[in-house]
Amino acid sequence: MDALFPIAPPSPASVLQAANRLKGLVHRTPILRSTAADEKYSAQFFFKCENLQRTGSFKFRGAFNTLAQLSDAQRERGVITFSAGNHAQALALAARLLDMPALVLMPETAPSSKMAATREYGAQVLTYDPMTEDRQAICQRLALERGMTLVPPSEHPEVIAGQGTAALELLEDVPCLDILLVPVGGGGLIAGSLLAVQAANSNCRVVGVEPEHANDAQQSLRTGQIVQIPLPRSTIADGAQAQALGPLAFGLIRKHVEDIVTTSDASMVQAMRFFAERMKQVVEPTGALAFAAANAAGLDLHGARVGVLISGGNVDLPRYARFLAD
């Protein structure tokens, strides 16, 4: 089994290198505006629509950036990962484009649309019981048995660098942002965004947003050490059901983030409806996290230029319809 990641940690320079590597391979997703949002919160919002990215989320950036740097021997043996859905799809497509095998371990509870899409992109999918089995231990065993390279969803320097290119594009297209709101699950997107702010020489403040019932990152920031929580099952944000940050992501968050706030499922649903009704965008619950925080206690956006990362749009249509109808 190859090492989880190189020794060198991610840096602002690695985000710039990733942007060059991904040029022409990822969509430079649009940045949308909303007069209704601006008027409601007395701010200027700039929505970076990664729900329109390849595979429907920002995850393709980190997956392709990582796989593109593997050796010929590693490509021949293939890659393995664990994921509830968006990283699974991203890794599967990146592996197909680079002509290498991919094996993805997904929880039995993963949305059926994400599981089906992962298979359609060409990956082999195995499932596990998240309540009784350790996904990382299973992946490490399979990687060792098959000689595959394990590429985790967040805790990898090149994954983090690739994810940071979404924020980098936003900062290039919209200079002088005051605040950037970023969803937090495993921590890769916010860690990469923090590096992107440095790479862009921006004074933008970065605020992470978690579900209130899956706030391991917020607890970690408050206590100054990584806090592991029980598997969160009481939030609709399936892409943010992480139990703990990894040391790479936590180190960047602890050093550079402005704050991490939480939001409720009800606020996520409200944000999803807003995107559907006012902006004609399909956004999954985790993808709506950042904008849902506009109502968060203690977050003052009045008069600010606010960047919002919409992280993904992969949601089962029957489930999506229920969210909009309730």
> Is there a domain that residue 43 lies in?
yes
- Boundaries of domain holding 242: 12-57+156-325
Number of structural domains (the chain) is 2
Of 59, 154, 193, 267, which is the active-site residue?
59
Do 93 and 53 share a structural domain? no
Of 150, 167, 194, the last residue of a domain is: 150
Residue 165 shares a structural domain with residue 16: yes
On whether residue 7 sits in a domain, the answer given is no
Please tell me which residue in 57, 83, 202, 311 is annotated as part of the active site: 311
Which one of 150, 172, 206 terminates a domain? 150
The yes-or-no answer on residue 59 being catalytic is yes
Q: Are residues 172 and 132 in the same domain?
A: no
Give the chain as a 3 state SS string.
CCCCCCCCCCCHHHHHHHHHHHCCCCCCCCEECCHHHHHHHCCEEEEEEHHHCHHHECHHHHHHHHHCCCCHHHHHHCEEEECCCHHHHHHHHHHHHCCCCEEEEEECCCCHHHHHHHHHCCCEEEEECCCCCCHHHHHHHHHHHHCCEECCCCCCHHHHHHHHHHHHHHHHHCCCCCEEEEECCCCHHHHHHHHHHHHCCCCCEEEEEEECCCCHHHHHHHHCCCCCCCCCCCCCCHHHCCCCCCHHHHHHHHHHCCEEEEECHHHHHHHHHHHHHHCCCCCCCHHHHHHHHHHCCCCCCCCCEEEEEECECCCCHHHHHHHHHC
Give the CATH number, domain containing residue 218: 3.40.50.1100
Q: Are 96 and 29 within one domain?
A: no
- pLDDT computed for residue 107 by the predictor: 87
**pLDDT truncated to tens, each residue of the chain (326 aa)?**
454 455 578 999 999 999 999 999 999 999 999 999 999 999 999 999 999 999 999 999 999 999 999 999 999 999 999 987 899 999 999 999 999 999 999 988 887 888 899 999 999 999 998 888 888 899 999 999 999 999 999 999 999 999 999 999 999 999 899 999 999 999 999 999 999 999 999 999 999 999 999 999 999 999 999 999 988 777 899 888 888 999 999 999 999 999 999 999 999 999 999 999 999 999 999 999 999 999 877 789 999 999 999 999 999 899 999 999 87
Q: Is 71 a catalytic site residue?
A: no
State whether 160 and 248 are in the same domain: yes
* 76 and 22 inside one domain: no
Which one of 150, 184, 207 terminates a domain?
150
Does some domain include residue 227?
Answer: yes
Question: Does the predicted TM-score (pTM) go above 0.85?
Answer: yes
Q: Kindly state whether residue 5 falls inside one of the protein's structural domains.
A: no
Classify residue 6: in a domain, yes or no.
no
